[in-house]
Amino acid sequence: MSDRDSIFEVVDHSGLQRAERAAQLNELGFTWADLEEEEYWLDGIVTMPTDVYGELEEASSKLWAVLDKAVRYIHHKQDLYDLIGIPPVLWEMLDEGELPPEGLISRYARFDFAVANDGTIKLLELNADTPTGYVEASIATPWICREAGISSPNDQMKEHLAAAWAVEQPDTAACVAYGSHQEDSGTIDALVRHSGLNIRCVDCLDLWVDEGIVKDSEDHVIERMFALYPKEWMAVDEGGDALAYAVETGRLQLFNTPHSILLQSKGLLAVVWGMYELGLLFDEKEREAIASYILPTYNKPIFSGSFVSKSMFGREGGSVRLFDSNGALEIQDEDGYDSSVLFPSVYQKRAEMGRIQTPNGEFHLLIGMFVINGKPCGLLGRAGGLITGNASQFIALGVR
């Protein structure tokens, strides 16, 4: 397929005044358009046709229901917890806790899709625990699209977030290095602002636990907390046991809920694919969605063609390795933390990603779809190499 046949079109904004536009986005809360003198934001827009966006939105809804059903099947089955890499320190928390209502195990999540230039859609993974990119999607993307007169489906993200947090009512929002880590700090600041609630923002490293009671550096008791803190790290971090105990005893409510880690594990996709192959659990419509959008995924590298290996709890490209059709290692992530030394890996058939040509060069395009309060509602575009890691850049996505 030639670039002229691609579903993607690039609207080039490189001739506009970047510094002035970055300053305007900074005022809106997107303060990391440039990181360490490197351009993180590619000033332009990638557009897709309405029908492709419609299929992407429908695929997200169908897969959200499929994965929700799989989690409910796994719940209370500790052999399956082990299979998908859930650390044992979390098992009691998961078993004792009641599952949230259908479709709401996570109220703040993001699918990552590979959408080929011909419009073929394949799910790569789901971040149902601690997704970032919210500021880029909810603030920067609508502004960039509006300036260009291009439609953005992201305008409702704020309303869905406010509805979700109106139910959860966190009293505290936390991330590591709050106040100094631009992206994570800006993310929880935006979430708090969009919630309309009176919520304290704190540094995870300032928290301490006293007999199951969580407190911040000023001794404020925290009872309901949203945290950009991956729950699997309770198995690794000093104090992780104490934090788990606080949740188990009901002294602390975490958001996303503890059960979001069951959605988060990439091993869940292996469970879904295994059930699909065995003809178990899913009805005909769910099987059609699985066949259409989920890639063959296993706990062992049993492929005859090209495949990917990645940690069940890898983030930002860390631990990703791409193997060619002969099973030889082709490329691996060198920047992110390789969490496969701590958690088991999954093996997934490779998918074709869209390619876009920009003034900065050619990139592979990863498309994120936020699911907030159970609703697919926001596109996130990231441009990078074959592995979308820390070095990838943000580019706005619109619909034509």
Q: How many beta carbons lie within 10 A of that of residue 7, not counting itself?
A: 18
Rounded mean pLDDT of 266-295? Answer: 98
pLDDT attached to residue 234: 95
Place of tokens 């000033």: 43
Residues 355/375, Cβ–Cβ less than 8 Å: no
pLDDT attached to residue 15: 79
pLDDT tens by residue, 140-149: 999 999 999 9
pLDDT attached to residue 340: 80
Question: What number of CA atoms fall less than 13 Å from residue 71's CA on the CB side?
Answer: 29
**Edge to edge, what strands does the sheet with 307-311 contain?**
297-298, 345-349, 307-311, 321-323, 329-332
pLDDT attached to residue 1: 41
Quick one: which of 248, 171, 252, 176 has its CA closest to 214? 252
What is the extent of the structural domain holding 125? 3-265+354-399
pLDDT tens by residue, 320-339: 999 998 889 999 877 777 77
pLDDT tens by residue, 199-233: 999 999 999 999 999 999 999 999 999 999 999 99
What does the CA dihedral 337, 342, 344, 350 come to, rounded to 10 degrees?
A: 10
Do the domain assignments include residue 272? no
Q: How far apart are CA 199 and CA 201, in angstroms?
A: 7
Do the domain assignments include residue 84? yes
Cα R_g (the chain), whole angstroms: 20
Do the domain assignments include residue 172? yes
Count of domains observed in the chain: 1
pLDDT attached to residue 139: 98
Residue 260 clears pLDDT 90, i.e. is over it? yes
Structure tokens at 126: 């789901």
Residue 110 clears pLDDT 80, i.e. is over it? yes
pLDDT attached to residue 70: 98
Do the domain assignments include residue 322? no
Residues 45/395, Cβ–Cβ less than 8 Å: yes
pLDDT attached to residue 2: 42
Do the domain assignments include residue 312? no
Residues 373/107, Cβ–Cβ less than 8 Å: yes
Place of tokens 């046949």: 5
Mean of per-residue pLDDT scores for the chain: 94
Do the domain assignments include residue 282? no
Mark out the alpha helices in the chain (DSSP H runs). Answer: 18-28, 50-74, 78-83, 91-96, 134-135, 141-148, 157-168, 182-195, 240-248, 260-264, 267-278, 284-293
DSSP code at position 140: I
| Torsional sign, CA 93, 98, 103, 106 | negative
Q: Is the pTM of this model over 0.85?
A: yes
Do the domain assignments include residue 341? no
Do the domain assignments include residue 47? yes
Q: How many beta carbons lie within 10 A of that of residue 166, not counting itself?
A: 12
Structure tokens at 101: 């209502």
